[in-house]
Amino acid sequence: MKLRQYQRVAQYEINRQRFKKIMKELSNNSTRITNSADTEHLPSRQNFDNECKVLEKLDGQIPINNVLLCDEAIHFLKTFHSDVEDGGHWRSNNCSRHALIIIIPYRDRQQHLCILLRYIIPMLKRQHIEFRIIVAEQAGNETFNKGKLMNAAFIESTKLFSGHCVVFHDVDLIPEDDRNIYPCPWQPTHLSVAIDEMNYRLQYEMLVGGVLAMRKEQFETVNGFSNEFWGWGGEDDDMAYRIKLAGLRILRPPKNIARYKMLRHKKQVPAKWNSRIKLLSGVNKRFLLDGLNNANYSVEKLTRHKFYTHILINVGKQPL
């Protein structure tokens, strides 16, 4: 792979598209510089300094009960966190950092979802982060396509809600330390650096799977995830290459706080290596054509539950 050559070509195309988009917006309304939907929830500098004294209130290590029953988890949330609005939205009365959309790709993991909500909602509130939780479930019994599901969830959630950044969060990863601040990062940030099942070690340098935070415009710049990875695995590695090709960096918090517990579940059969390698080797040629801009799907149902918004999405069938 002639990476440097493709990086130059890809960056040129990205810059050209950015310039075209900016000129179009300016021509539509020469007096409007910023989008109010992107700024209405940003705290003032004074409010941020006076009220958002977050770190001193954080607990550090979080003890995790990984066999918690779903009813117990929801009862806890209803008892102590009833201020979360229907649809899974919360904002501090005093201040809020960012406006975060958390997208959880999901299929048949109800207990895992309950446990994740039980721990992540209190943690985000302690961090004074405004958040909205989106659970994206693939409809039917066809082969799972995590990349297309996350693309569809991003498109639909940004139609419905304002937010400055998005976190793609596996349902079976529970944060173990609330000092791992869920950011609106200046560069794409891989938050799940150290996972217990992986002996709390980063498995390889290009790993971005698990929990990944990006600004909305960064996700749009890399054209989202690939829609071509059917079955388990591959779409996250493809995303890492997209980030690099777009001239962005992958940031990671320190591994002593970016710690997660993986909930036990039956492992999915990974996609065939040959098809994954073929797709990954061609990412430089197709990432501007395969992603957000060609994600075909349909929304079958949208339901606002107490602690999350559930979107049931049909991503179609795997091509023969």
**What whole-number distance in Å separates Cα of residue 29 and Cα of residue 21?**
13
| Domains in the chain: ranges and CATH | 3-14+75-314 (3.90.550.10)
Residue 194's pLDDT band (cuts 50, 70, 90): very high
**What whole-number distance in Å separates Cα of residue 58 and Cα of residue 178?**
6
Q: Pick the range with the lowest mean pLDDT from 120-134, 222-236, 292-306.
A: 222-236
Q: How far is CA 15 from CA 12, 222, 249, in A?
A: 5, 12, 17
Does the pLDDT value for residue 24 go beyond 70?
no
Q: What is the mean pLDDT of residues 233-242?
A: 90
Residue 52's pLDDT band (cuts 50, 70, 90): low
Q: Are strands 97-106 and 129-138 parallel, antiparallel or unpaired?
A: parallel
Residue 95's pLDDT band (cuts 50, 70, 90): confident
Which pLDDT belongs to residue 231? Answer: 86
Does the pLDDT value for residue 248 go beyond 90?
yes
Which pLDDT belongs to residue 35? Answer: 30
Does the pLDDT value for residue 14 go beyond 80?
no
Residue 265's pLDDT band (cuts 50, 70, 90): low
Q: What is the mean pLDDT of residues 263-285?
A: 67
**What whole-number distance in Å separates Cα of residue 103 and Cα of residue 135?**
6
**Sheet containing 194-195: order of strands:** 173-175, 259-262, 194-195
**What whole-number distance in Å separates Cα of residue 14 and Cα of residue 223?**
10
The whole-angstrom distance between residue 177's C-alpha and the CA centroid of its chain comes to: 18
Q: What is the mean pLDDT of residues 210-229?
A: 95
Asked if 126 and 189 count as a contact pair (C-beta separation under 8 A), the reply is no
How many CA atoms does the CB half-sphere of 90 hold within 13 Å?
Answer: 23
pTM for the predicted model, two decimal places? 0.82
Q: Are strands 189-190 and 211-215 parallel, antiparallel or unpaired?
A: antiparallel
Asked if 210 and 237 count as a contact pair (C-beta separation under 8 A), the reply is no
**DSSP string for residues in 237-297:** HHHHHHHHHTT---B---TTTSEEEEPP-PPPPBPPHHHHHHHHHTHHHHTTTSSGGG---
**What whole-number distance in Å separates Cα of residue 69 and Cα of residue 85?**
23
Buried b (16+ CB within 10 A) or exposed e, 73-86: bbebbeeebeebee
| 192 compared with 34, residue with greater pLDDT | 192
Q: Are strands 173-175 and 194-195 parallel, antiparallel or unpaired?
A: unpaired
**DSSP string for residues in 237-252:** HHHHHHHHHTT---B-
